[in-house]
Amino acid sequence: ETGVTQTPRHLVMGMTNKKSLKCEQHLGHNAMYWYKQSAKKPLELMFVYNFKEQTENNSVPSRFSPECPNSSHLFLHLHTLQPEDSALYLCASSQDPGTVYEQYFGPGTRLTVT
Amino acid sequence: GESVGLHLPTLSVQEGDNSIINCAYSNSASDYFIWYKQESGKGPQFIIDIRSNMDKRQGQRVTVLLNKTVKHLSLQIAATQPGDSAVYFCADLNTGFQKLVFGTGTRLLVSP
């Protein structure tokens, strides 16, 4: 266990649904990240939060809406997704913005959009 | 643009053999390199890292080699075991930008 948990582990949703992914880290870290992992593609950074403040939005469509209520929790709210959004969504954390090289990843949520 | 790539999508080895996984990067300003291992159903897990002022770094059964002249990174796994079967990613970091750039991954298959 890496100390980063994600729920649900699997999610199937229609294009008109609204759902949320949850990430929780038990490491006392102050930086949290959302990544998208598609087949045969590199991990794509989506969002970065440092000390609960969003510091990076990597040109992510507005149908993905992140929320970071505190340093331990990170959410990704999903609405009106497209089939090409089907992927593994990974959450990660690091001690602080300066230790971006030492990220701890959760197991991911496998999302399927039908 | 900036990219990190891998030479082979799949590498098959016999148990006990040494494995070498390669990675090329394009950003000459990258000053930190990391190898991750991702097992089925899990997120990436840190294996070993190396700074740009080093050529070689050794861990437990793993060695990372960095050739800045040709922008090439490799991960060597000694005495490969079935438990080493996973996808291996390289990533590079320009500490000025504070963002990791990942490669696509190489799947390592270890046969008993």
The pLDDT value given to residue B26 = 87
Mean pLDDT over residues A107-113, rounded? 96
Residues of B in contact with A97 (CB under 8 A): 98
Q: Given the structure tokens 């300066």, which residue do they identify?
A: A98
Q: Quote the CA–CA distance of B3 and B6 in Å, as a whole number.
A: 10
Q: Does A100 touch chain B (CB under 8 A)?
A: yes
Q: What is the pLDDT of residues B84-101, one digit of tens each?
A: 999 999 999 876 767 888
The pLDDT value given to residue A97 = 80
Helices (H) and strands (E) counted in chain A, each on its own, are 0, 11
Q: Is the dihedral of CA A87, A93, A98, A100 positive or negative?
A: negative
Write out chain B's pLDDT in tens, 112 residues: 334 554 558 999 999 999 999 999 988 888 899 999 999 989 999 999 999 999 999 999 999 999 999 999 999 999 999 999 999 999 998 767 678 889 888 999 999 8
The pLDDT value given to residue B99 = 81
Q: Does B32 touch chain A (CB under 8 A)?
A: yes
The closest alpha carbon to A50, from A10, A112, A93, belongs to A93
**Contact call for B41 and A107, based on CB within 8 A:** yes
Chain A contacts in chain B segment 55-84 (CB below 8 A): none
Q: Quote the CA–CA distance of A54 and A33 in Å, as a whole number.
A: 10
Q: Does A50 touch chain B (CB under 8 A)?
A: no
Q: What is the pLDDT of residues B3-17, one digit of tens each?
A: 455 455 899 999 999
In chain B, the N- to C-terminal Cα span, in Å, equals 41
Q: Quote the CA–CA distance of A29 and A15 in Å, as a whole number.
A: 34
